[in-house]
């Protein structure tokens, strides 16, 4: 797979006018990697018929507050997941100010797939559970999952590692990373940040084609 116009591994961070704090208290965003306005991918995940949920194979980082919220629904979620809650997450915790609550762990994998992956159909069991129970999926689904293929690191909003190392199966010439995740960014960080990001998009949009 070869990128044209710009190399997808290139990064260029632009400082924003202020810090934008996630509604959960962290992370904070004060800069943006402008390649999010140019790199494109297939944004309508569940309409994809070729990836076999590849991005969900390895589990995901999850913050301590999110874990606690999931545990509150454990009795019902166990029926979805098929495993007791003590098998849902890795036992080790990492101190990290970028995550709500200041630390995170990772969902476990079973037979090479995230424990929360729907093996009978497609997609995330947490997301499906929220739809059935009429719960806002942002409350229970990890922020890393919801923002993917974007992520955050040291206050920078940027493409996930899978974009830069080109392991993301759905890199293609459809929708930019930013446009695909614009509504999610607004949910977590508010309408002001998307207004500023829209302005940055107008200045820095080049459109990368991935072949």
The yes-or-no verdict on residue 47 having pLDDT over 60 is: no
pLDDT of residue 144: 93
Strand-pairing partners, residue 21, are: 28
pLDDT higher than threshold 90 for residue 70: yes
The DSSP letter of residue 124 is B
Q: Report the mean per-residue pLDDT for the chain.
A: 85
* Average pLDDT value for residue range 112-131: 88
- Domain range for residue 61? 3-210
| pLDDT of residue 148 exceeding 70 | yes
Statement: residue 1 has pLDDT above 50: no
The residues, any chain, with a CB within 8 Å of residue 12's CB and separated by 6 or more, are 33, 34, 35
> Range with the lowest mean pLDDT among 39-43, 102-106, 110-114, 175-179?
39-43
Dig out the tokens for 91 from the structure. Answer: 């036992």
Least confident of 39-48, 103-112, 196-205: 39-48
pLDDT surpasses 50 at 40: yes
Predicted TM-score (pTM) of the model is 0.85
What is the number of domains present in the chain? 1
The runs of H, that is alpha helices, within the chain are 64-71, 74-81, 125-133, 137-140, 143-147, 161-164, 177-189, 191-204
**At how many degrees (to 10) do helices 64-71 and 74-81 cross?**
90
The tens digit of pLDDT for each residue in 168-179 reads 665 666 789 999
């Amino acid at each position: 797979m070869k990128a044209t116009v710009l190399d997808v591994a290139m990064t260029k961070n632009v400082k924003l006018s202020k810090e934008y704090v996630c509604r959960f208290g962290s992370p904070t965003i004060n800069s943006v990697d402008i390649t999010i306005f140019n790199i494109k991918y297939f944004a309508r995940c569940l309409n994809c018929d070729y990836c076999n949920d590849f991005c969900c194979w390895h589990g995901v980082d999850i913050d301590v507050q999110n874990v606690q919220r999931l545990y509150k629904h454990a009795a019902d979620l166990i029926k979805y997941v098929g495993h007791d809650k003590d098998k849902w997450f890795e036992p080790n915790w990492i101190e990290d100010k970028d995550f709500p609550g200041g630390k995170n762990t990772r969902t476990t994998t079973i037979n090479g797939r995230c424990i929360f992956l729907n093996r009978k159909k497609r997609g995330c069991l947490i997301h499906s559970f929220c739809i059935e129970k009429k719960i806002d999926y942002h409350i229970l689904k990890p922020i890393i999952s919801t923002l993917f293929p974007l992520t955050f690191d040291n206050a920078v909003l940027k493409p996930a590692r899978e974009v830069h190392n080109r392991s993301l199966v759905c890199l293609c010439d459809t929708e930019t990373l930013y446009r695909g995740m614009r509504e999610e960014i607004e949910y977590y960080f508010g309408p002001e940040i998307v207004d500023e990001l829209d302005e940055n998009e107008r200045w820095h949009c080049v459109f990368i084609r991935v072949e």
